[in-house]
Amino acid sequence: MDEAWLKELNKRNLMIQGEDSSRCNFATVTVSSSVLAKLSLDEQEKFQMTEFKRATNEIEHWGRVEEICDFFGVEDPDLAGDMYERKFKNLTLDEEIKWMDLKDFSKDRYDGFGVKVEWG
C-alpha cells in the first residue's frame, strides 16, 4: 500500500511549539485490527488501542451493541475484535476519503466496515 499521503499527514500533524491547539480542527480516526494490519508497522505503532464507551442504561447498551456490530461487520458483538484510534489535526476531506478507502468489505456488507472518522 502506498503510504505517501499518510507520511504527508504525519508531517502536518506534528504540533509546532507555540501553536494554539484550540485553533486546530481535530479528527479522530478509529480502525479495526484488520484495517490497522493494512498499514506499515511504523504507522500501526502510532495508534492507541481503545474501547467503545460503556453504556449507562439498557437503551444505550443496545445502541452500543448495534454500533459495535456495524463497526466490525459482524452479527454477534462477541465476534468483534480490537479497535484503535489516533487523532489528526486539520485532516482534509481527501485524507478522510483515503481512510475510508481502507474499509473491509464482505458479501453482506457492501458499504464497508472497520473505519470511522469523527470530527471535533
- Domain boundaries defined on the chain: 3-17+27-46, 51-107
Task: Specify whether the CB–CB gap between 12 and 89 falls below 8 A.
Answer: yes
pLDDT tens-place values along the chain, 120 residues long? 789 999 888 888 766 555 555 666 789 999 999 999 999 999 999 999 998 888 889 889 899 899 999 999 999 988 999 999 999 988 899 999 999 999 999 888 888 999 999 998
Q: What is the pTM of this model?
A: 0.84
Residue 89: what pLDDT?
86
Taking CA atoms, 103 is separated from 16, 20, 62, 98, in Å, by 31, 33, 24, 10
Side chain identity, residue 90: N
